[in-house]
A and B are shown apart, each in its own frame.
Chain A
Amino acid sequence: MPSFHRKLERSAIGFVLAIVGVSAIGGFVEIAPLFTIHETVEKAPDMRVYTPLELAGRNIYLREGCYACHSQMIRTLRDEVERYGPYSLAVESQYDHPMLWGSKRTGPDLARLGGKYSDAWQTAHLRNPRDVVPESVMPKYGWLERTTLRTDDLGDHLLAMSRVGVPYTQAMIDNAPADAYGQATPDTTFATDVSERYGEATNIRAFDGDPSRVTEMDALVAYLQILGKLTDAATAKTEATGAEAPKAEATKAETGATQATGG
């Protein structure tokens, strides 16, 4: 063994080839899971995309570093499933670039936050978390409510997302600023356009309670209210899997079938 190594490191070409060979193992280990990605990422035909306002809210979420304290991934552990809801599926973050799963929590997981609390609560909580949760250590984000949302570049954000595979249509990209405005100002023609383009299930509300202007608070609350709501894949899976023991056999067969047809 020592003499083999001695010989190898004295041959330039041989040593380079050996380095390439060993590095390739590491590369293969990283790439290999993608071979079976059709099994890892479930199908969710009902999955909808982030609206421009929600995407803007997501960008604010990234900008303010919310992910440093809040994960967006419910793990396959009983206490998490009982507290937060069905465990997260890979498909639920297929339009997340980058994903915000996270492995550290100071605050609670947010993967299924959408619709859990009212807009009024979200706004009050961001304004000063201690107003509604006295023991909270979260910083205040009151200025979001006073900062008008920048919408003129949202078309570019949508375009960038479409380049990495998010199915935005040209109409969505072209009308992004108007749609961002419309989603936060109900009872306008802009709002009607949003539900036409993004579906009836889209939340169209004055998220911060003030329909007269679109603020960063509107965007962030719109984003928080959609978390876990882009697809029903996770709830559908839980219903199929069932909570009762006798169903376990059927579940297994079903899971197998899903996997077989998954690709």
Chain B
Amino acid sequence: MELGKRDPVTGRTTTGHEWNGIEELDSPVPRVVLFFLAVTILFSIGYWVLMPAWPLGWTYTKGVLGIDQREIVTREVADAATARAGWTDRVATLDYAAIEADPALMQSVRETGRTLFVDNCAACHGVDAKGGPGFPDLKAKSWLWGGTPEAIAETIRVGINSTHGDTRVSQMMAFGKEGILDREQVTNVVAYVRSLSGTATGAPLDADRVKAGQEVFAANCVACHGEAGKGNAELGAPDLTDQAWIYGGDAQSIYSTVYGGRQGHMPHWGERLSPIDTKILALYVHSLEGEAK
């Protein structure tokens, strides 16, 4: 090794290492790199002073800015609530009918309600609120538990067959599986149910079956669905005379429902949504009824 040797081209000293005639220049680190290194060091010193940084045994330096992300987010949420208090206070105090009579207020309710609906309800009921197999269509005007905004708000709060203490409870018994009706009776009552809503397509319904089914219906189904099959919002029993079917309105689907029973589950939202959000959502869902399907 030859220290202090100078490279003839650049005039710089070399490290003294040499590999097959190739020598390494001992160039200093460029000043710009040193400059930015210094800047980052200064930045970090400033950051240590301003922000929570150093552990000190059982505590840590809190920083002179006293920044706490949890406090910031709590404040931001509170500020947002204050910012919209102008109209949410009115939603909180006015009753449903008065809110719905105020188009300007309903405009705000619908905008916020839409966001709440998409975040929370759309997974099951769909972004268009038209539901799907097993999940009710909210635009069908066929309400299991009542379609007033008050009833909708209560359903949102406690859920259906949920784990909430006040939950709405409803069950369609498994008439076939439990042996209450035999297959013939189930087929008959399905024919009768289909005749109620006039949805039967294809082959016309067998009049004898419909008649026999009516007797089965009168003996087994009227307690919940009512004599006319119009349902009962006290029991969450659906109206069988309309065109809305949660589990399908064809003969096979209705047969499955009567044979195997149904017990839908809507989670309760009382813990997840604030009372005001629940009220906004109920108003939003109720307002969907008026929209064209």
Interface residue ranges, A against B (CB under 8 Å): 2, 32-33, 35-36, 38-39, 76-78, 81-83, 85, 87, 112, 115-121, 124-125, 131-134, 235, 241-245, 248, 251-252, 255, 263
Contacts and interface: CB of A to CB of B under 8 A. Distances in A.
Interface of B: 28, 54-55, 57-60, 69-82, 119-120, 122-124, 126, 132-135, 163, 264-267, 271-272, 274
A81 B119 CA distance: 12
A117 B72 CA distance: 30
Contact of A36 (B58, B73, B75, B78): B58
A77 B77 CA distance: 9
Contacts of A244: 78, 81-82
A82 B70 CA distance: 14
Contacts of B265: 118-120
Contacts of B120: 116
Nearest to A201: B163
A118 B77 contact: no
B272 to A, nearest CB: 7
Contact of B55 (A35, A112, A243): A35
Contacts, number: 92
Nearest to A241: B74
Given A36-B59, A121-B123, A85 B135 contact: no
11 contacts: A32-B55, A35-B55, A76-B73, A116-B272, A121-B124, A124-B133, A134-B126, A243-B81, A245-B75, A248-B75, A251-B74
B236 to A, nearest CB: 15
Q: Is the interface of A mostly helix, strand, loop or mixed?
A: helix
Contact of A117 (B74, B79, B267): B267
Contacts of A81: 73, 77
B74 A124 contact: no
Contacts of A251: 71, 74
B123 A133 contact: yes
Given A115-B163, A117-B124, A235-B271, A131 B132 contact: yes
Contacts of A134: 126
A260 to B, nearest CB: 10
Given A36-B55, A81-B73, A82-B77, 4 more contacts: A35-B58, A76-B73, A116-B272, A242-B74
A87 B73 contact: yes
Contacts of A252: 71
A115 B163 CA distance: 9
Which 9 residue pairs spanning A and B have beta carbons closest together?
Answer: A118-B265, A76-B73, A76-B69, A78-B76, A32-B55, A35-B55, A245-B78, A241-B74, A36-B60
A160 B235 CA distance: 49
Nearest to A263: B58
Contact of B124 (A39, A77, A118): A118
